[in-house]
């Protein structure tokens, strides 16, 4: 594997693994309609005489045939799903699992048109936003009993909350993936462009590349295809950068908010100036394929882009990388979108207990980890314990650090190491990644420097905005609390000490100011200039 994975794993892997820590943004929204309570699943008792009884399902023996629809069209995921089904059927010889594969677009058409006739599966994968439609259509059943059986605490909290409506959880996450901004390093270098950090910079860079490449490569295609709502993801990325949602508090479409309207105009203009004309019809895979083939300079997606580029344009593997999603204004905290991919059990199923038992078996490490490895980094664990599982971490794509001849830890340039010591020496990630963890030594980078002067004598929205520009994420008390409380022995902070002087510093980052004073007085620490 290539060096681009270092950035990916630092900004995506650790971020995505805490899909649920607290405030991660998701494209899924709670339903606005009402759903009828699903009928309770019961276990049939064996009747007498036995020779006249229908096929029975007891707690000890499952019997019946189910159909499983899924949309795992990338990587060897189908093989892993089939292997899991084969193992389950070997353990339960009276069970038959039929697996059918559809693209996301075909899946949406098939289940929405099949509802009236009952032509729906027993269980399926889904896109997160589609779960809302399924609940409103009274098409799927709650899965709380199954989730509790697996262990509710084993899952990250956010994906479970995301699929919960009126006190019941209607889906279980199979994996998560975190959206980042993918880009072509070689094209940025060709046109002397920096990696964009704001939307204005992104627009300028995309336009320069589109014009310079004269139709051979587009700055950023904007997908507008129906069925899989991928264009909504792009708009949601913008909304998140404005601190807004595409839904109002009463769960109605928030498309008249001035910030959202600006986002619609932004992506419409991007489509007109930097996107191929036929992207008006693109769905998720169409969009991704354009990047895989080297025809898109920028894209927003998850780690699936690694295997996609490797399969389509291996010559570009050294030329791709990723970065946080741009912000609206310079100095703002980047926003991330974490998509949680669910599985559901359909109300029309005659054997929901088989579906639930199969799903439960899928989370066993010997089944679940190979599935995640089928697209490494593209699929991030839904179970918390898998994040640190040595078998999961052993995949070469997931490796980050190796020791050189001098005894220093460096980015592995080959990504060929097949095993990893469970006792990690170094962990790298954003502040969010270390919620609930402790380490002997924490090295906190707060490298930030500017000459913005803020008048803090008068409270005003403008004052808060200026302080935010000056100090960025350091003003978020929850993040600062985590950043300064994970160490067991030593906290080492690196940054510009002038940022911690004056009334504006006291107003914005008082804990850091006090920490600096303690170190300066040489009582509890030391300041090294």
C-alpha distances (whole Å) from 256 to each of 301, 328, 528 are 26, 18, 52
How, if at all, do strands 320-323 and 298-301 pair?
unpaired
Same domain, 119 and 200: no
Same domain, 141 and 285: no
Is residue 28 domain-resident? no
pLDDT on residue 347:
96
Same domain, 293 and 225: yes
387, 412, 446: which is the final residue of a domain? 387
Q: What is the C-alpha separation between 519 and 488, in angstroms, rounded? A: 17
pLDDT on residue 90:
96
Is residue 86 domain-resident? yes
Q: What is the C-alpha separation between 398 and 378, in angstroms, rounded? A: 10
Residue 240: in which H helix or E strand, if any?
helix 230-241
Same domain, 311 and 347: no
| Torsion sign (Cα): 239, 105, 183, 420 | positive
Q: What is the C-alpha separation between 23 and 271, in angstroms, rounded? A: 30
**Token match 């006792």: residue?**
423
Same domain, 208 and 291: yes
**Token match 């910030």: residue?**
259
Same domain, 292 and 260: yes
123 and 362 in contact (C-beta within 8 Å)? no
Same domain, 194 and 228: yes
Taking 50 as the pLDDT cut, the residues of the chain under it are: 1-58, 400-403, 407-412, 414-424
Tell me, what CATH number does 230's domain have?
A: 3.40.190.10
pLDDT on residue 420:
34
Q: Outline where 104-227 has alpha helix (H).
A: 104-114, 128-136, 144-150, 157-162, 185-190, 199-213
The pLDDT tens digits for 39-98 are: 333 333 333 333 333 434 445 689 999 999 998 876 688 889 999 999 999 999 999 999
312, 338, 364: which is the final residue of a domain? 338
Short-list 280, 277, 301, CA closest to 289 = 301
Residue 98: in which H helix or E strand, if any?
strand 95-101
Residues 6+ apart with CB under 8 A from 111: 69, 120, 121, 124, 134, 139
C-alpha distances (whole Å) from 15 to each of 180, 387, 520 are 10, 11, 33
Q: What is the C-alpha separation between 28 and 106, in angstroms, rounded? A: 20
Same domain, 141 and 168: yes
Q: How many domains does the chain have?
A: 3
**Token match 């980042």: residue?**
180
280, 311, 338: which is the final residue of a domain? 338
Same domain, 274 and 382: no
DSSP letters for 461-476: HHHHHHHHHHHGGGG-
pLDDT on residue 153:
94
pLDDT on residue 259:
92
End-to-end CA distance of the chain: 39
pLDDT on residue 191:
95
Q: What is the C-alpha separation between 354 and 301, in angstroms, rounded? A: 34
Is residue 49 domain-resident? no
pLDDT on residue 55:
39
Same domain, 129 and 209: no
Domain that holds residue 516: 438-520
Beta bridge partners of 178: 338
Same domain, 66 and 85: yes
Q: What is the C-alpha separation between 512 and 484, in angstroms, rounded? A: 9
Is residue 353 domain-resident? yes
Q: What is the C-alpha separation between 466 and 328, in angstroms, rounded? A: 14
Same domain, 103 and 134: yes
Is residue 420 domain-resident? no
Residue 183: in which H helix or E strand, if any?
strand 172-184
pLDDT on residue 96:
97
State phi, psi for 117 to the nearest 5 degrees. Answer: -90, -5
Is residue 186 domain-resident? yes
- 3-class secondary structure, 88: helix
Is residue 458 domain-resident? yes
Is residue 56 domain-resident? no
């Amino acid at each position: 594997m290539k060096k681009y994975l270092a950035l990916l794993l630092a900004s995506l892997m650790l971020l995505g693994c805490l899909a649920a820590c607290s405030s991660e943004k998701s494209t899924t929204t709670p339903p606005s309609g009402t759903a009828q309570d699903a009928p309770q699943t019961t276990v049939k008792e064996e009747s007498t005489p036995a020779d006249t009884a229908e096929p029975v399902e007891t707690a000890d023996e499952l019997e019946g045939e189910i159909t499983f629809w899924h949309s795992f069209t990338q990587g060897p995921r189908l093989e892993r799903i089939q292997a899991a089904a084969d193992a389950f059927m070997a353990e339960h010889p009276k069970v038959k699992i039929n697996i059918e594969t559809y693209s996301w677009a075909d899946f949406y058409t098939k289940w929405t048109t099949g509802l009236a006739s009952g032509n729906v599966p027993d269980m399926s994968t889904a896109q997160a936003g589609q779960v809302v439609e399924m609940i409103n259509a009274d098409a799927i059943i709650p899965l709380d009993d199954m989730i509790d059986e697996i262990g509710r605490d084993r899952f990250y909290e956010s994906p479970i909350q995301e699929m919960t409506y009126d006190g019941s959880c209607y889906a279980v996450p199979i994996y998560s993936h975190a959206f980042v901004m993918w880009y072509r390093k070689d094209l940025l270098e060709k046109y002397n462009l920096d990696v964009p950090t704001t939307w204005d910079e992104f627009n300028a860079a995309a336009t320069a590349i589109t014009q310079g490449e004269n139709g051979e490569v587009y700055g950023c295609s904007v997908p507008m295809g129906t069925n899989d709502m991928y264009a909504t993801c792009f708009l949601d990325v913008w909304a998140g950068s404005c601190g807004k949602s595409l839904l109002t508090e009463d769960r109605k479409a928030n498309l008249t908010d001035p910030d959202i309207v600006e986002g619609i105009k932004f992506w419409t203009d991007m489509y007109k100036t930097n996107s191929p004309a036929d992207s008006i019809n693109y769905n998720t895979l169409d969009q991704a394929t354009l990047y895989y083939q080297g025809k898109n300079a920028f894209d927003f997606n998850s780690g699936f882009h690694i295997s996609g580029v490797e399969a389509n344009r291996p010559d570009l593997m050294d030329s791709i990388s990723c970065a946080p999603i741009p912000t609206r204004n310079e100095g703002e905290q980047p926003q991330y979108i974490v998509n949680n991919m669910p599985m559901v059990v359909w109300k029309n199923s005659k054997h929901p207990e088989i579906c639930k038992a199969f799903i439960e078996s899928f989370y066993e490490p010997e089944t679940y980890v190979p599935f995640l490895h089928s697209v490494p980094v593209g699929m991030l664990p839904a179970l918390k314990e898998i994040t640190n599982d040595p078998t999961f971490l052993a995949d070469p794509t997931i490796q980050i650090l190796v020791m050189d001849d001098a005894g220093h830890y460096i980015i592995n340039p080959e990504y060929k190491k097949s095993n990893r010591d469970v006792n990690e020496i170094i962990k790298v990630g954003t502040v969010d990644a270390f919620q609930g963890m402790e380490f002997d030594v924490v090295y906190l980078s707060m490298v930030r420097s500017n000459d913005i002067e803020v008048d803090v004598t008068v409270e005003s929205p403008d004052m808060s905005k200026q302080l935010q520009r000056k100090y960025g994420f350091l003003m978020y008390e929850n993040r600062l609390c985590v950043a300064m409380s994970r160490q067991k022995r030593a906290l080492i902070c690196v940054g510009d000490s002038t940022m911690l002087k004056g009334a504006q510093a006291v107003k914005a980052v008082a804990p850091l100011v006090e920490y600096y004073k303690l170190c300066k007085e040489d009582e509890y620490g030391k300041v090294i200039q």
